[in-house]
A and B are shown apart, each in its own frame.
Chain A
Amino acid sequence: MIDMSWSWGAPGGTPTPTTRWYAYFTSWSALCIGIGSSGCLYFVPIERPVINAPPDILQPFELEDLELVMVADIEQVTVIAQDDDGDDLAFFWVVVPSDVAYNVTPATPKELPDGTAYWYSTLSLPRDPRLDGRRLQCGVTDLQDTEVVEWTVRVED
């Protein structure tokens, strides 16, 4: 069962996923080693590391020193991501202060005819002077790895 539950109205809070079960491959490969002429054979366990492909953020292109300059009455930011493993992605937004009446399009999956799948999420934020200088964050997670995008909000008033 893949079950993700995020609070996206949780400024400053780290999302707390509910349970997710996933296959954990602790694979034991047998390696036969001959030592000298003794002919002694034994097996050496080898742990194969689990490699998860983290979410790949396609937009924004740059992930550092981002600024969101609030010019329009409502500004919308969009984060688009892919996951090479085909994991479902979840997005969580952190907006401070929390009583700003923002609106979120939650993680929305989109699949192209060729099977390419990506996910996107949008945040619509009203132009509020209290946001000036604040940080806006979006985390994209496949529940194993999380990538974070962060903006500094600028409101000229």
Chain B
Amino acid sequence: MRRLVLIGLALGATTACSSADGLYVEDTTDFDDGDSLEGLSLRLDVVPPDGVRANADAETVGPPGALPQSFPFDTLDGLTLELLEAVTVRGTVTGYVSSPWSVDVPGSTLPIGGATVSLRLPGTLQSANGVTNDGTVGAAGSFALRVAPSAGYALNVQPPSPLVAPFAATVDTASDEPVVIDIPLGLPVWGRVLDPDGAPIVGARVFAFHDDGIRTAVAETDSRGWWLIRVPAGVWSFECDGRDHGRDPTIVTRDVEVDGTGATFDFQYPSLRLGTLVGRVIDASGDGVGGVTARLRAGDLTGYDGYEYSSLRTVKTDDDGNFTAVVVSGEWRVELIPPDSAELGPLDVGDVQISASDVEDLADLALEPTVTLVGQVVDAEGLVLPGAVVSAREQAFGQRGWTSVTDATGTFAMTVSDVPLALEILPPGDRGDLALGRVEVATPSAEVVQASLQVGVPASGVVQFLGEPVPFAVVEATDESGTRWATGLSGPDGTFELRLPRP
């Protein structure tokens, strides 16, 4: 029997009244009805239309252009979102390259081609990525990235070799001077990757990463199991993928203090005890289903006590629905994810114990067919809302999504998986007074959604570029986690209106 779910849709809304660090503004505004919005922070992201964007991606002769840009959400009305003309941050990367094994052999400073260079403005959608020139065209080690102008861009350089340390700095685009990056030699961190008998594991991949997001290139162990990575002084973590590029779990060694002469440690893997998992995925009629992804996530693995490790393995079923996975023995969480085109739901098989040198046969695993989720969307007065857009997404598994539009009676019906879903409901185009709503549905086959969209808190403004209104710019209010709270499109006069959900 279906359960009637009455939902007053509200996300908790916000506006902003004070300035804070970054673009997010802590809010304590009370709306007319006394809603308290304390502690919520939003920003406004503006994605210009193609006509404005097209001229921003490259330095070309022609009209100027603007790139996507974030703005503080600091007032409810009269927002003027002035897009700034894109600028180029250019520079060169050189580094001191030395012999990895002999300090007696002097190195030299060379241009670093093929390095990944990124610019990110924290707390915004503004970023750019590129690769330094390898010298085939233009100066070796040079780069040029187009961004919306701002101070405070985090610049990261990841050289292509683990023997050249990564580099981080802060850049202000107001400076016309090229960014000259001369990467110091850095400090060596080295060690071996070994099996439990102390024998080297050849070809294992190791890289270092820092809490602020910087990471090094990957080093592969040599014939004696040695790896070497250079990093700036600081606290670094190191990750190794073990034998056969991922057959072993990935091991992480955290918080390695690197200073003075560097640091050294080994990765030592336990014995490789493999077990086999087999099964057959079928539909309701007992036929095998091909193309299903069996996703195995490592739980408590044999021999890995005391390690920080993780492993995610995926295998696909063949045309008859059979799958085989050879994995490290221990406990694995198994999920089955049907292909997107199949009218079948996913299945959480649960935790499965796989023993070494043994075959665990899950036999037939039946996927349930998709079901019909039905519901009705009304406004706060109870009036039905035709034309509301209802989208649903699986909250786990493959995160498949579906969209439906309510009919003249405000009802919708959509074919979905019978698993927990997250619904987002956008009001119809002629009800600009309403805010979007979200709701979770635990069991679609047993529930009828009765959703009520509330009148939203209005926020309005204009999008401009070089003082002129910008039509067809997408304006989105998002929070720090990237969740969208409201979306709008600027009209021919550049004006937009958003409706923020009330708490």
Contacts and interface: CB of A to CB of B under 8 A. Distances in A.
Interface in B21-56: 47, 49-51
Interface in B453-495: 472, 474, 476, 484, 487-489, 491-492
Nearest to A104: B401
Contacts of B176: none
Contacts of A18: 413-415
A4 B116 contact: no
B398 interface: yes
A27 interface: no
A6 B51 CA distance: 29
A122 B402 CA distance: 15
B403 A106 contact: yes
Interface string B222-241: 00000000000000000000
Given A71-B129, A107-B389, A4 B405 contact: yes
B175 interface: no
B432 A111 contact: yes
Interface in A103-133: 104-112, 117-120, 122, 127
Contact of A5 (B402, B428, B432, B474): B402
Interface in B376-416: 386-387, 389, 391, 393, 398-405, 407-409, 411-415
B465 to A, nearest CB: 16
A6 B402 contact: yes
Interface stretch (A30-38, A39-47, A73-81): A73-81
A10 B405 contact: no
B400 A9 contact: yes
Contacts of A118: 489
Given A105-B484, A110-B489, A6 B403 contact: yes
A98 interface: yes
A122 B401 CA distance: 14
A153 interface: no
B405 A88 contact: yes
A91 B340 CA distance: 17
A58 B402 contact: no
Contacts of B405: 2-4, 88, 90, 107
A3 B412 contact: yes
A72 interface: yes
B49 A78 contact: yes
B487 A109 contact: no
Interface residues of B, number: 57
Contacts of A1: 407-409, 411
A65 interface: no
Contact of A74 (B125, B414, B424, B488): B125
Given A107-B389, A109-B429, A156-B130, A13 B413 contact: no
A110 B431 CA distance: 9
Contacts of B407: 1-3
Nearest to A62: B50
A69 B131 CA distance: 14
Best-buried of A70, A71, A127 by chain B (most CB within 10 Å): A71
Contacts of A108: 389, 426, 429, 487, 489
A97 to B, nearest CB: 11
B131 A156 contact: yes
A72 B14 CA distance: 28
A69 B426 contact: no
B47 A72 contact: no
A110 B492 CA distance: 12
A157 B399 contact: no
A72 B67 CA distance: 10
B474 A122 contact: yes
A157 B116 contact: yes
Contacts of B242: none
B302 to A, nearest CB: 28
Given A71-B57, A122-B47, A5 B413 contact: yes
Interface in B89-128: 116, 118, 120, 125-128
Contacts of A98: 340, 398
Given A7-B400, A9-B340, A90-B405, A71 B128 contact: yes
Interface string B418-449: 00000010101110100000000000000000
Best-buried of A98, A101, A105, A109 by chain B (most CB within 10 Å): A109
Contact of B426 (A13, A72, A106, A111): A106
A11 interface: yes
Contact of B429 (A13, A71, A73, A110): A110
A104 to B, nearest CB: 7
Given A59-B50, A109-B389, A122-B474, A9 B398 contact: yes
Contacts of B129: 70-73, 127, 156
B192 interface: no
Interface of A: 1-13, 18, 58-61, 69-74, 76, 78, 80, 88, 90-91, 98-99, 101, 104-112, 117-120, 122, 127, 156-157
List 5 A-B pairs, minimum CB-CB distance, nearest first.
Answer: A109-B429, A13-B341, A10-B340, A111-B429, A9-B400
13 contacts: A2-B405, A6-B402, A7-B341, A9-B393, A61-B50, A72-B68, A80-B472, A105-B484, A108-B389, A109-B387, A109-B428, A119-B429, A122-B47
